[in-house]
Structure 1
Amino acid sequence: MVAEGENSSAIMKPIKTLLLPFVFALLAPTSFAAQFEDGDDFYEDLEMPELNFRIFGDLGASYENPDSLSNSGFGFGSLDFIVTGTMGEHLLFFSETLIEGAGEDSIGLDQERAWAMWSMSDEFYLKMGMDHTVVSLWNRTYHHGKWLETTISRPFLATFEDDGGALPMHYVGIETGGLWEISGGGLDWTAILSNGRGPDVDNRQRVGDSNDSKAVALSLAFTPASFDALTFGVNGHTDLIPPDLSDAARLGNISESIFGIFATYECAETGAEWIGEWSTVTHDDAASGTTFDHNLAYLQVERSFEDWTPYTRFDMMNMDIGDPYLSPLDQDLDRWQQTIGLRKEIADGAALKFEVGFGRGEVRGLGGVQTDDIITAALQLSWTF
């Protein structure tokens, strides 16, 4: 039992401790409030970032046959907001927020990229946050702004996860890289350690990881000094995809390995450009003991004539059907398509595009999987400012 005097002392001791900061604040010659009131003094030594703001947008119409793939119609495309900020000579902050259609009659807001990068020189940088993976050159070149792309549609290989893509297009983690001048040309290298893919394809694991295993990716690109219009390289990616306990077919881990090659050519004199990629994806499913091998590739050729740019692209997906990770969204089905299009620059920072596509592909229906002809058409107005 505590005596009455001892009890009072015990109570007063923490109260005195709590009051001490307020007493010191009152006695201080310059309070924190006074510092905030005098904004010039408070921010005098604080270096503010240099901010840049840019918007990309697009609207359009599309048609696709057979109707089981999509209905024709007009639609809101996207609004892409990019903010960059630099602090000093070495620190860069980046944010990309996208507003786009998300379903039959809904529009969603998505934080696509957000990272901080410290750059010592062109030879070395260190980045942390959310960005695009290196498993596709297209993915790292054009990102989300539709005006940046000559075409309306992205290649099958570089289709985003939430649009039915089979490859991981985003990551959350740490990236390092740089451009090294070596004998014969320039070597652009990138290495990434990140959260892996989620239990389903559209789960990017942006705020955590479902397992302790981390994804590792590497890209090497070489530009010959004697022929700097050409760049070619390789990329690779490994990951351990966790099970999806809500799906009876996904009760085990899936070991994923991706290997790709790419090349691009840009001739400033003639306005001719081409870009091509090939990726092979291997999924080892622990639950069934089955290995699934997938191949995706494309080749796009274009040439600019002042404000007009005609283009064509061949796309191909050769997939092992029944992959439990890709089949829920029909990403395990074969398909090829030839696309032909025309882009017209109608103003500085605005373009009108029209393209048609024809091909054949597997379609999963009530009667199983069947092969059908595929015809597409699209019109798009894209801009940036």
Structure 2
Amino acid sequence: MTQLFSVSALAADPGQDRTAELEKKLEQSLQQIQALSARITQLENASKTTSPGQANPTANVTPTAVQEKLSAQEQRLEKLEKSVEQVASSAADQSSNDSNILGVPVHGFIALGYGHLPNPPNLPNTVNSKSGFQMANVDFYFAPNFGDQLKAIMELNLEYTEQGVLTYDLERFEIGYTFNDLVNIWAGRFHTPYGEWNTAFHHGHFIQTSIDRPRFVAFEDQGGVMPSHTIGVMESGTARVNGGDRVSYDFFVGNGSRIIPASDGNNLGIALGNQLEFNPVGDDNGNTAYGGRVSYQFNNTFTLGAHGLSEVVDTYDGNNVRLNSTKLNMLGAFYLLEWNDWESIGEYYRFKNDDKFGANGTNGTHNSWAAFAQVSYTFGNIWTPYARIEKAELDQTDNYFASLASGRTYTRQVLGLRWDFNKAAALKFETDRTHELEIAAPDEKYNRTRVQLDVKF
């Protein structure tokens, strides 16, 4: 399926250039014809006013000679007109052909900003842990339409790591078939359907109110502790009930994730720690991931839902030696409120993970939880202040969380202001405070202040 995806830099349409050139020549020819016609009139008037026997200064240029030039110019003009019609018709046919077969609109997002972090934390795999100007990402997405039922979504993301290495990733690559509103089948790499944030907000920062996602539902390479991507098959659908209410669902099966040492081209000797990896070319332990979400929306205003997933996740060292294995089990709930200019989103995750294999032969069950809630209000469709609180209580005797570089207990408070000064651009001002608990080291407390420009195209 990945062979179906390509990014092509299309040159300007040569048919349009040819048409413009011929139209320019037509305009020049019309100007010459007007000049020749004026000359004929001048010669005819001169012949009428010249007395017999009087020398005519224009005798060497007769109306007949000018008329011959005019006739030749008209023939040239006629050929040019035919050429313009042919090229324009060909260009129109090609444009129609391209739009129907090859033409895929390119859209995307750009995010860049400045961050101030007075006391950087001494923690591995901590995103945005430096002060200064930052290039967040450039994200491209394509949505080719193959007809009424066959669809596709492709998303290519370019971003710099904390070590200044440019990386790229095919974040989404989905082929879908729509039977009706209730049955839609998708195959490929998709965002794992849980909660509201991971389902609604993707890699374009512009589409979400805040600068970043809540930390524990961040993407795998940015410190998230949830498998935010899955390669497999997903079925989704929606139905109207009770007049204006809506029931929606998403269910999936696919490759489970694994935990491996982070690798992003770092050669600075900086410890990056471990992160989740979504097994793009096959499941490492043959244990299929499955799960999904269901929701009920009341009168297009309030959505309440439940979500869950289960998979076996193994941890490997740099030599691909398995260190431990955990059965990841998650159940939870989420809500979304959109009422007038108010918006609020909240999610709760309850983990009950089982040790399958460990260095010490451990075999037990570990309970953890994580949650966040964000609220915002928009003034005049331009100014949107927002606030968010996050908290995660993650059992450090759980091999799953203990193996992840960012699998620590923490709390975070966020305050921000979004300014939509253009329909395609927003400026965000944000400050947050984070407290991370450490077991064998002092707790980490740090503040950040950031400003970010998000643009869509």
TM exceeds 0.5?
Answer: yes
CA–CA separation in structure 2 for the residues paired with 1:50 and 1:280: 45
Tell me how far apart the structure 2 counterparts of residues 207 and 174 of structure 1 sit (CA, whole Å).
14
Aligned-pair CA distance for 1:66: 4.1
- For 1:188 and 1:91, the matched residues in 2 are separated by 20
Query: What letter matches 1:48 in structure 2?
Result: I
Gaps of 5+ in 2: 1-92, 124-128, 261-274
Instruction: Give the drift of 1:67.
Output: 3.6
Equivalent position SS for 2:400:
coil
Cα deviation for residue 293 of structure 1 reads 2.1
Q: Structure 1 residue aligned with 2:174, among 115, 122, 139?
A: 115
* 2:442 counterpart SS class: strand
Question: Counterpart in 1 of 2:352?
Answer: 282
RMSD of aligned Cα (Å): 2.4
Report the counterpart of residue 76 of structure 1 in structure 2. Answer: 135
Distance in 2, matches of 1:242 and 1:67, equals 28
Q: Could you list the per-position Cα deviations for residues 36-72 of structure 1 after superposition, in whole angstroms to 9, with x for gaps in the alignment?
A: xxxx9xx99x962662320101001223334425222
Give the superposition deviation at 1:376: 1.7
Whether 1:190 and 2:257 are equivalent positions in the alignment is: no
Equivalent residue number for residue 180 of structure 1: 239
CA 1:223/1:50 → structure 2, altered by over 3 Å: closer, same or farther?
A: farther
Letter of the structure 2 residue corresponding to residue 286 of structure 1: K
Contact 2:251 2:291 in 1 (8 A): yes
* Counterpart pick for 1:308 among 373, 383, 398: 383
Deviation at residue 330 of structure 1 after TM alignment: 3.2
What is the count of residue pairs matched by the alignment? 337
- Give, as a single letter, the amino acid of the residue that structure 1 aligns with 2:174: W
Greater shift, 170-179 or 192-201, is seen at 192-201
1:313-366 Cα shifts (integer Å, max 9, x gaps): 0011111114333334433321111110001012121010011112422247xx
- Alignment partners' CA distance in 2, 1:158 and 1:62: 21
The SS at the match of 2:277 is coil
User: Which of 319, 329, 333 is the equivalent residue of 1:261?
Assistant: 333
Q: How far is 1:127 from its partner?
A: 0.4
Does structure 1 conserve the Cα–Cα contact (< 8 Å) formed by 2:436 and 2:444? yes
Could you say which structure has the larger radius of gyration? Answer: 2
d(CA) in 1 for partners of 2:431, 2:347: 21
Q: Secondary structure at the match of 2:408?
A: coil
Report the residue type matching 2:355 in the other structure: D
Structure-to-structure mapping, 1:356-371, within 5 angstroms: 356-363=431-438, 368-371=440-443
Cα distance change, pair 106–359 in 1 and its aligned pair in 2 (3 A): closer
Q: Please, which moves more after superposition, 105-114 or 192-201?
A: 192-201
Match of 2:428 in 1: 353
Q: What do residues 148-193 of structure 1 show as CA deviations (whole Å, max 9, x unaligned)? A: 1110121123211111111110000000010022347321011101
Within a 5 Å distance, the mapping from 1:76-115 to structure 2 comes to 76-115=135-174
Question: Quick one: which of 411, 434, 437 aligns to 1:336?
Answer: 411
1:221-256 residue CA offsets vs partner (Å, 9 max, x unmatched): 1012xx430001000101012352658995342111
Quote the offset at 1:134 in angstroms: 1.4
Indicate the SS of the match to 1:48. Answer: helix
Contact 1:191/1:219 (CA < 8 Å) preserved in 2?
Answer: yes
Q: In the alignment, residue 342 of structure 2 is paired with which amino acid?
A: A
Counterpart position of 2:277:
203
Counterpart of 1:125? 184
Deviates more, 1:119-128 or 1:183-192: 183-192
- The one-letter code sitting in structure 1 at the alignment partner of 2:148 is E
- Pick the aligned partner of 2:116 from 63, 88, 112: 63
Deviation of residue 120 (structure 1)?
1.5
CA distance in 2, matches of 1:265, 1:293: 29
Q: Distance in 2 between matches of 1:250 and 1:369?
A: 27
Greater shift, 292-301 or 182-191, is seen at 182-191
Query: Does residue 107 of structure 2 align to residue 54 of structure 1?
Result: yes
Identify the residue that residue 232 of structure 1 maps to in structure 2: 304
Distance 1:173 1:50 in 2: 28
- Match status 1:384 vs 2:438: no
Instruction: Provide the residue aligned with 2:365 in structure 1.
Output: 291
> Does the C-alpha gap of structure 1 residues 234 and 323 become closer, same or farther in structure 2, counting only changes over 3 Å?
same
Unpaired runs of 5+ residues, structure 1, are 1-39
Structure 1 residues 261 and 231: CA distance shift in structure 2, 3 A: same
Pair 1:166-2:221 in alignment: no
The separation in 1 between residues aligned to 2:241 and 2:102, in whole angstroms, is 34
Asked whether 1:148 is paired with 2:218, we answer no
SS in 2 for 1:327: helix
Contact 1:50/1:87 (<8 A) preserved: no
Q: Deviation string for 1:252-295 (max 9, x for gaps)?
A: 42111111200010013xx1110000101222112211323221
Cα deviation for residue 105 of structure 1 reads 1.6
Give me the identity figure in percent: 27
Q: Which amino acid aligns with 1:347?
A: N
Which structure shows the bigger proportion of residues in strand conformation?
1
Give the aligned residue type for 1:277.
Answer: E
Counterpart amino acid of residue 193 in structure 1: V
Which structure shows the higher helix fraction? 2
Could you tell me whether the CA contact under 8 Å between 2:149 and 2:178 is conserved in 1?
A: yes
- Counterpart in the other structure of 1:15: none
Equivalent pair of 2:234/2:250 in contact (CA under 8 Å): yes
